[in-house]
Amino acid sequence: MMRGSGRRVGALLALGAIVVVGCSVLLWTGLTSEDGACPRPTSVQDVLRCMDLSDHVTVGSLPSSKRKLAIGIPSVWRSGIKKRYITDTLHSLLDVPERHLLKDIVVVILAADRDPLLREKLKLTIATEFSHHVHASRIIVIEVPDAYYPQLYHKRNDYEDSQARTIWRQKQCVDYSFLMAFSARLASTYLQLEDDVSATRHYLPALNAFVDAFPQAVMLEFSTLGFIGKAFPSADLPALAHLFHTFYADAPVDLLLQYYIAIQNRKNDVRQRQPPLFQHVGTRSSLSGKRQTAVEPNYELEYDLKRWRADNPPAEVTSSMTPAFSSLPIDAYLRAPGGFWAAAVQDGDDLTIAFTRPARVIHIRVRTGTKEHNSADRLQAGELHVLFEGSTRSTILAAFDKGIAEAAVSHKRRVSQVKIISRAIHTTWVMIQEIAVLVHSS
């Protein structure tokens, strides 16, 4: 339990504000330096000043161009388990149906074991089991140089922690700091994960859609647990990294993150995706001897899962309905768990799926409502329409019955759009849970 007073918390917030406000300009000036490689950085500014970060890459090579998403994962061996959690985590992240999207990501694994032999074992495992991804610069392994670590366990202990736990959480702050500073130039968005998580099967399109929908957010949450599944604009990473490195001895990393949000005065710019895309699966903490059994209670609940087979060609999905709970119209069309929640749906409101290329559609099914709320959040009255290629007026295929509409379509005419149109005023939320489009095999 914390013994420090509210006055000390206020002082930390004030100091943090100075760090965050000042560091963005101060630190990014280092990017224009011509110092070249920096084998022994001692600060965030040193890392950002480096024009060549390859000295700290121990497996793989830096991507030749900036990616859309960098995924940062610190990894530590746990005693009492047969293999590292990280291998299953990587398989869930990379063995995805949407393989064409993998070209836009880079996974940065921080070998965080203090024992160099354990770090070597990790590097060997990654290099052999994930060689294809390593050669594609999709996975790189990095290490924190010793010079980057300040003196651990040198300040008063306000959390009544043991020395081992204090050193563990202080080292975690420094590790996160280096990982973020290193990753700042690799991609447009940075996602923080732990090494013992599982991603839902179609996580990547859903994550990309959420990132694209909220470009001004200070933080996006794809999990409710700790620091799992927290995403940030890469432009903000220097400030975060500097905050963690400066106050590593004053608070745990997840509490420092809360301070960061408070300092930014942008609490309303934090967006949480529901349901979560990541589940915590580990049972042993990276702190030796600690059990860690926290799990996401709302991960892959039955009513959130997509039930039907679908081809769902590439499309832009828009709606005149008012979104609720930070959900997106495209969530109903994507295959990841979850759907589109809409508030105050009016007669004539619609959701439109505009195919990137007209498609030979043969069948469409739409499901609204959730089992949890029975019929309350169904589309009470509505129609399913298509717009054929070359037409200016849509064609009604089916009316909704008990929240569901489905229809067969002749593949002889290509379809440009699919529309769901409300034919009633709804006083409660409407949940469009699933849209499944099948196309002709030719």
351-393 pLDDT, tens per residue? Answer: 999 999 999 999 999 999 987 656 789 999 999 999 999 999 9
Residue 70 pLDDT exceeds 70: yes
Contact between 233 and 189 (Cβ < 8 Å): yes
With a pLDDT cut of 70, the percent of the chain lying above it is 88
The CATH superfamily assigned to 44-280 is: Spore Coat Polysaccharide Biosynthesis Protein SpsA; Chain A (3.90.550.10)
Task: Report domain 315-439's class.
Answer: mainly beta
Which band of pLDDT confidence, cut at 50, 70 and 90, is reported for residue 244? very high
Question: Would you call 100 exposed, middle or buried from its count of C-beta atoms within 10 A (0-12, 13-18, 19+)?
Answer: exposed
pTM of this structure = 0.91
Residue 29 pLDDT exceeds 50: no
**Of the candidate ranges 123-132, 179-188, 278-287, 341-350, the one whose mean pLDDT is the lowest:** 278-287
Q: How many residues does the chain have?
A: 442
Give tens-digit pLDDT for 274-323. Answer: 999 999 998 877 767 677 889 999 999 988 999 999 999 999 999 999 99
Mean pLDDT to the nearest integer, 392-419: 97
Q: Give residue limits of the domains in the chain.
A: 44-280, 315-439
What pLDDT, on the 0 to 100 scale, is given for residue 57?
97
What pLDDT, on the 0 to 100 scale, is given for residue 284?
79
Task: For the chain, give the mean pLDDT.
Answer: 90
**Of the candidate ranges 214-228, 287-301, 303-317, 336-350, the one whose mean pLDDT is the lowest:** 287-301
Distant-in-sequence, close-in-space partners of 163: CB < 8 Å, separation ≥ 6: 153
Looking at per-residue pLDDT, the higher value among 96 and 37 belongs to 96
Contact between 212 and 250 (Cβ < 8 Å): no
Give tens-digit pLDDT for 257-271. Answer: 999 999 888 777 999
Distant-in-sequence, close-in-space partners of 81: CB < 8 Å, separation ≥ 6: 284
Residue 76 pLDDT exceeds 80: yes
Give tens-digit pLDDT for 142-160. Answer: 999 999 998 876 555 566 7
Mean pLDDT to the nearest integer, 62-84: 93
**Of the candidate ranges 20-24, 52-56, 75-79, 160-164, the one whose mean pLDDT is the lowest:** 20-24
What pLDDT, on the 0 to 100 scale, is given for residue 9?
53
Residue 33 pLDDT exceeds 50: no
Across 181-205, b (16+ Cβ under 10 Å) vs e yields bbbbbbbebbbbbbbbbbbbbbbbb
